[in-house]
Chain A
């Protein structure tokens, strides 16, 4: 078991460094897929999401925001799925399939936006907290403790109440909601990397703190960054959906998967089950994809973390 893990590490490290030949990325992908079929499935789901978002105008059959007018000026409210409307129409007569396709853009935008800002920013804060000495750490950790005591969704809701509903405010709120779990995870990782022999060695030959952090600690936390970013993409997508579902996320005409479920929850589900099933299925598949990919990345890149609860606080 242990030998196997070491072999994995030994194989992954040279891949990311200099000597990789031209075809190596594909070889690495194929190897990854062979060893982690579930992770590869997650990767495919993520790829499908990205493609859907990019190609939305080309592949969506209708305008996602426009209420459809049929030939006799009739509005197709709650038409069941069929050849005309693949996933049926919603409570005001919009095409659900098109809204789901465009919804991929919203999910990806919120996910990428909040992960790029949040995970990156709080990653640096976590590092500083672990490295800046006991006083800064003590204060930072009390703030983290205090925020951990409030469910992520409630923090994000409270911030949305203050900011008001808009797409970018959703990102700001989710970024703040990520603070506690990301800082905590990164801090504990940096604390353990800090005690590694190569860091001690670097300090022993007189390297300054800044050099140790930039040259030795940061590269060794890169894998964790990648893993966290993957998990938190799923986290951000589910939070955005929750906010929009509760009516405080993106404005109602924006095609958000969560927002599409609001009508279904108000008793419409028995009238038009498709309107409640497809958007939820989209959220479920995409979040499952990010989680599976995250699990596989964790096992391959950082086997030490197996069993660690990186995705633990994915609060709803």
Chain B
């Protein structure tokens, strides 16, 4: 176990470093100058900016230094928790990001819980009743879920609720601590929208993983010794079939964080996604950089944890 854990952790650091290099490189080969963007106040209109002003600001921001020095100092700051100052709001990025980060994470966790709770039973039924009507129904359901664009589904949900129940998602936002009921009310629909897309995929994985396990010898043994089917499926098959589902959920979480952006903008949730879109519109690359690095760090850490827990749950992995 020790060796396996060590090997996984040794891979984690360079991957995260490569991610920061990619993010940094992307935003500093931007055509156009961040200093100019600040002085010109967002977009266009660079005519009124004098070249001395520009030089001064470039010096202040450290843009006149070689790229690798800029990268090193940026990385140093990030490691100390300083994500820089927003080009648009002119305030520290972290102060904007902190609350929004929590909102997005809450939304994503809610969505993945909803998805797994629905997808696993669906996948099990589909596998146990393979090639019956029930199986086809659940497979058609998941094909639809995969092709259904998140943003369209979100719009349809809003429409259906508004038309048939005359209910509109509550405006304004409350945190989980201030008003848990309102918070859950607000986040339930966005989470459901996200979960539907995810559910389809997780159900597929559960199904194929269950089908594989069902062919194993130890299941035949379990049946042969007279266990009822429920115990065979529930205790012996499920335990092993859920391992791939766990791995996939890690990557699903990354996917979900992509969908969050769209869903947040439909349901006006004040999370990282709406901030991301804002920062793109204002060409606020410091905020954008911070969000991308933060997401990469979260996803990589989560995958590391999943891989490590995998080593605990499935002893076979350790000896490979």
The complex places the Cα of A258 from the Cα of B149 at a distance, in Å, of 10
10 nearest A-B residue pairs (beta carbon): A151-B258, A280-B152, A153-B258, A146-B19, A288-B147, A146-B18, A161-B280, A149-B296, A149-B299, A145-B15
Interface, chain A (partner B; CB < 8 A): 142-143, 145-154, 157-162, 234, 238, 241-242, 245-248, 258, 261, 264-265, 269-270, 273, 276-277, 280, 283-284, 287-288, 291-292, 307, 309, 311-316
Closest chain B residue to A161 by CB distance?
B280
Residue pair A265, B151 in contact (C-beta under 8 Å): yes
Cβ of B283 under 8 Å from chain A: yes
The complex places the Cα of A57 from the Cα of B163 at a distance, in Å, of 36
The complex places the Cα of A94 from the Cα of B75 at a distance, in Å, of 50
Partner-contacting stretch, out of B48-56, B154-162, B217-225: B154-162
Known: A265-B154, A265-B265. A311 touches B146 (CB 8 A): yes
Instruction: Write the nearest CB–CB distance from A249 to chain B, whole angstroms.
Output: 11
Interface, chain B (partner A; CB < 8 A): 11, 14-16, 18-19, 22-23, 26-27, 29-31, 143-144, 146-152, 154-156, 158-159, 162-163, 197, 201, 205, 208, 212, 248, 251, 254-259, 261-262, 265-266, 276-277, 279-281, 283, 285, 288, 291-292, 295-296, 299-300, 303
Q: How many A-B residue pairs have CB under 8 A?
A: 164
Q: A residues within 8 A CB of B262?
A: 153, 242, 245-246, 316
Closest chain B residue to A241 by CB distance?
B149
The complex places the Cα of A316 from the Cα of B255 at a distance, in Å, of 7
Closest chain A residue to B151 by CB distance?
A245
Q: B residues within 8 A CB of A157?
A: 261, 276-277, 280
Q: B residues within 8 A CB of A265?
A: 151, 154-155, 265-266
Can you list 10 A-B pairs with a CB-CB distance of less than 8 A? A147-B22, A148-B254, A151-B257, A157-B261, A157-B277, A238-B149, A288-B144, A309-B248, A312-B201, A316-B258
Residue pair A284, B152 in contact (C-beta under 8 Å): yes
Q: A residues within 8 A CB of B291?
A: 154
The complex places the Cα of A149 from the Cα of B197 at a distance, in Å, of 19
Q: B residues within 8 A CB of A161?
A: 279-280, 283, 285, 288
